Amino acid sequence: MELRPGELLDLYYYMVLSRTFEERVSTLYKQGRVQAGVFSGIGQEAICIGTCYGLEDEDFVAPAHRDVGVFLVKGVSPRAIMAQLYGRATGLSGGKDSALHAGEPELNVFGTTSMLGAQICVTTGAALAFKMRHQPHVAVSYFGEGAAARGDFHEALNFAGVHRLPCIFVCENNQYAYSTPLHLQMACDHVADRAAGYGFAGKVVDGNDVLAVWHTMREALYRARTGAGPTLLECMTYRWHGHSEHDVAMYRTDEEFVEWKSRDPIPRYEMYLREKRILGDETRQQVAEQAKSVVADAVDFAEKSPDPAAAEAETNVFG
Ligand SMILES: Cc1ncc(C[n+]2csc(CCOP(=O)(O)OP(=O)(O)O)c2C)c(N)n1
């Protein structure tokens, strides 16, 4: 299956939108205007966009804390995401939280909690429900290589393998879990190697190549929808910013950062689109302007939105 020119441009638009959104949020954080702990996914856009683009509305996704792109491609309004980061009443959690620990149930976007890896088990549960109800949908979980060291990861994958569930486990391997580098995180070469232990496919893909991610995801979706079971898809990438915006990441070298930055997924994809004569200067400019205007509108909406009312403090709280 190949993407048509309009679809190839869609992928580009979403990557640019995601980057523009996150760059703005990073600035807003430094200006003290957003309340949230901001966990930037800048540099990792190709993973969220390449895996989410083309999912069905009914497919369930459980994004992790850096996955603005998943929210955008699944159709969550940029206004609601921005208001979430501002902690406003119009945000996804109505101002109960101000990080991306929120979801949009109507769009089948699960509201991930702070507890790393917990959403992987929920994804497996959603896939079990799809199988029991004979529904042709797929459940997709996102997490980092750090979360993949937690027990939840292993339990969720084991269960999914035993029951051949329609699950796709997307590991965003960005080389660091907070300050812990890969070699102190795991003793095997790849997170995907672990899939063999659970009896299903494990694939490693260049996570900075949106088309490679998209194609590998198509194969995983085919397996899931045809009853062939789960896939563990490990996307190799790099976390450009610190763990969150307050972290200057002194624990890594400039050389390493510069090398990874040269693999920026957006200019790489632009080169491909230019060679195919799908993207020229004019379209590039239009996409940039459209993304800027969507983000400006989201900021304006969030700034004008009210704080949550005190009377709401005890609603939707479980204890
Ligand atoms: C169970 C648990 N342990 C520790 C933390 C604190 N914590 C939040 S994010 C993070 C690093 C996560 O690394 P990774 O899973 O690789 O994802 P990344 O942040 O690199 O995208 C840590 C240690 C947490 N939220 N939950």
pLDDT digits (tens, 9 = 90+) for 37-63: 899 999 999 999 999 999 999 999 999
* pLDDT at residue number 316: 82
Mean pLDDT for the chain overall = 96
Cα 145 to ligand 1 centre (Å)? 9
Residue pLDDT, tens place only, 158-168: 999 999 999 99
Mean pLDDT of 185-196: 97
CB 98 within 8 A of CB 87: yes
Is 70 exceeded by the pLDDT of residue 311?
yes
Residue 176 beta carbon below 6 angstroms from any ligand 1 atom: yes
What is the pLDDT, as a whole number, of residue 98? 81
Q: Which of 118, 252, 233 is nearest to 177 (CA)?
A: 252
Residue of 47, 48, 116, 150 best suited for mutating to test ligand 1, as the one with most atoms within 8 Å of CB: 116
The pLDDT of residue 237 is 98
pLDDT class for 209, splitting at 50, 70, 90?
very high
Provide the pLDDT for residue 300.
98
Helices and strands (DSSP H and E) totals, the chain: 12, 7
CA–centroid distance, 58 to ligand 1, in Å, is: 28
Atom of ligand 1 nearest to the CA of 174: 20
pLDDT tens readout for residues 111-149:
988 899 999 999 999 999 999 999 999 999 999 999 999
Supply the pLDDT for residue 112: 83
* Residue to probe by mutation, ligand 1, list 40, 70, 178, 237, most atoms within 8 Å of CB: 178
Percent of the chain whose pLDDT exceeds 70? 100
* pLDDT at 36 > cutoff 80: no
Residue 318 has pLDDT above 80, yes or no: no
What is the structure's pLDDT at 319? Answer: 62
- The b/e string for 150-187 (b: 16+ C-beta within 10 A; e otherwise) is bebbbebbebbbebbbbbbbbbbbbbbbeeeebeebbe
Catalytic sites, residue numbers: 239, 243, 251
250-282 pLDDT tens trace: 999 999 999 999 999 999 999 999 999 999 999
Q: Judge if the beta carbon of residue 170 lies within 6 A of ligand 1.
A: no
pLDDT tens-place string over residues 58-117? 999 999 999 999 999 999 999 999 999 999 999 999 998 888 889 999 999 999 888 999
For residue 255, give Cα distances in angstroms to 60, 203, 251, 261, 262: 39, 28, 12, 10, 11
